[in-house]
Amino acid sequence: MTSHLVPDARSAPPDQALTSWRDGPARRAVVDFVARAVEEVPVDQRVAVFDNDGTLWCEKPMPIQLDFILRRLVEMAEADPGLGDQQPWKAARERDHAWLSQVMVDHYAGDERLVTIMAAGILAAYDGISVEDFEAQADAFLRTARHPTLDRTYLQCAYRPMVELLGHLAAHGFATYIASGGGRDFMRPVTAELYGVPRERVIGSTAALAYSSDSGGGTIRHTPVPDYLDDGPQKPIRIWSRVGRRPLLAAGNANGDTAMLDFTQHVDKPYLRLLVLHDDADREFAYTAGAEKALEKAERDHWTVVSMKHDWSTVF
């Protein structure tokens, strides 16, 4: 996928939407849901929320933002050799993907020890940077860095079928939001261009910020203090805090998305819960680690499981 294809996918006429989706139960569930929502729900109540990592763009062999952070941790370890034997700087320097992957596996299994260690490094990595400088670095990284195995830039790692879905929803009056465990300010520079989701509709994790007055109108900087991790039960809380509505559609791919998908349930309105299944080792990756509980709940509660292998004719 080249960048000029992204707006084309988002702006396709309704009768040409979802062209990367194969005909089957998942596509029909989407089409039927949108038709019902248009008929039964006022425009101002049509809200859809999407996880980002593993739902809208690729998250293997590591989340894209993690690559961004690891490069900064390596810089820190080179400047201060004493950090090199401490985690997560050690894993960053050695590119220890096993340790890094275990962080999220343990997190989704309820073990927060490695996450705590990783979070301390992440918070230290950008302590004191202004929000504008952070955004500029994130934007440059996303436009120039390449995926380690897929031979494409990170901006070309968005899933075309999901971009089409976002466009299809927008064409039918939906306000689309991102509710991600990833960093809010890391995603914001590119979401409008990549997904058609404006920056003010991006909900994500963040460090606490601090403002200081200066001659240039003041500066907001990152601090080494966590504000919140937008994952698990925090997702519906943050959605409600920002949107003030229960979504009609939610899409995710992991255990951390189950509360958000649960929250997308109505007594008197149509709703749809999508769980993306990574089962295509040829075109992307095949894995269920970190999604075991979500898959069990999907079967039990009749969520719509979207198979990359069977439901998508094109991935990127």
Considering only residues 107 and 52, tell me which one the structure prediction assigns the higher pLDDT: 52
Query: What's the rounded Cα separation, in Å, for the pair 181 and 55?
Result: 11
Would you give the distance in Å from CA 216 to the centre of its chain? 33
218 burial type by CB count under 10 A (0-12 exposed, 13-18 middle, 19+ buried): exposed
Q: What is the model's pLDDT at position 1?
A: 37
Please check whether residues 37 and 166 belong to one and the same domain.
Answer: yes
Domain endpoint, select from 81, 114, 144: 144
Which tens digit of pLDDT belongs to each residue from 147-191?
999 999 999 999 999 999 999 999 999 999 999 999 999 999 999
Which range marks the domain in which residue 47 is found? 5-60+156-311
| Domain membership flag for residue 228 | yes
Q: What is the model's pLDDT at position 12?
A: 52
Q: What is the mean pLDDT of residues 242-262?
A: 98
Please check whether residues 115 and 55 belong to one and the same domain.
Answer: no
| Domain membership flag for residue 151 | no
Please check whether residues 256 and 184 belong to one and the same domain.
Answer: yes
Q: What is the model's pLDDT at position 98?
A: 84
Q: Are the C-beta atoms of 135 and 142 separated by less than 8 Å?
A: no
Q: What is the model's pLDDT at position 13?
A: 52
Please check whether residues 164 and 261 belong to one and the same domain.
Answer: yes
- Inform me whether the pLDDT recorded for 4 exceeds 60: no
Q: What is the mean pLDDT of residues 196-208?
A: 97
Average pLDDT taken over every residue of the chain: 93
Considering only residues 157 and 122, tell me which one the structure prediction assigns the higher pLDDT: 157
Q: What is the mean pLDDT of residues 293-304?
A: 98
Query: What's the rounded Cα separation, in Å, for the pair 89 and 75?
Result: 9
Please check whether residues 236 and 259 belong to one and the same domain.
Answer: yes
Domain endpoint, select from 144, 166, 182: 144
Residue 106: pLDDT band (50, 70, 90) is: confident
| Domain membership flag for residue 149 | no
235: left (phi over 0), alpha (psi -120 to 50) or beta: alpha
Q: Are strands 202-212 and 304-307 parallel, antiparallel or unpaired?
A: unpaired
Residue 84: pLDDT band (50, 70, 90) is: confident
Please check whether residues 302 and 182 belong to one and the same domain.
Answer: yes
Q: What is the mean pLDDT of residues 195-199?
A: 98
* Domain tally, the chain: 2
| Domain membership flag for residue 188 | yes
Query: What's the rounded Cα separation, in Å, for the pair 53 and 31?
Result: 24
How many residues are listed for the chain in this entry? 316
Please check whether residues 269 and 217 belong to one and the same domain.
Answer: yes
Please check whether residues 41 and 174 belong to one and the same domain.
Answer: yes
Q: What is the model's pLDDT at position 7?
A: 44
Least confident span in 29-43, 91-105, 132-146, 246-260: 91-105
Residue 110: pLDDT band (50, 70, 90) is: confident
Q: What is the model's pLDDT at position 2?
A: 38
| Domain membership flag for residue 150 | no
Domain endpoint, select from 89, 118, 144: 144
Host H or E run for residue 64:
helix 64-79
Please check whether residues 68 and 10 belong to one and the same domain.
Answer: no
Please check whether residues 192 and 306 belong to one and the same domain.
Answer: yes
Q: Are strands 249-252 and 286-287 parallel, antiparallel or unpaired?
A: unpaired
Q: What is the model's pLDDT at position 101?
A: 80
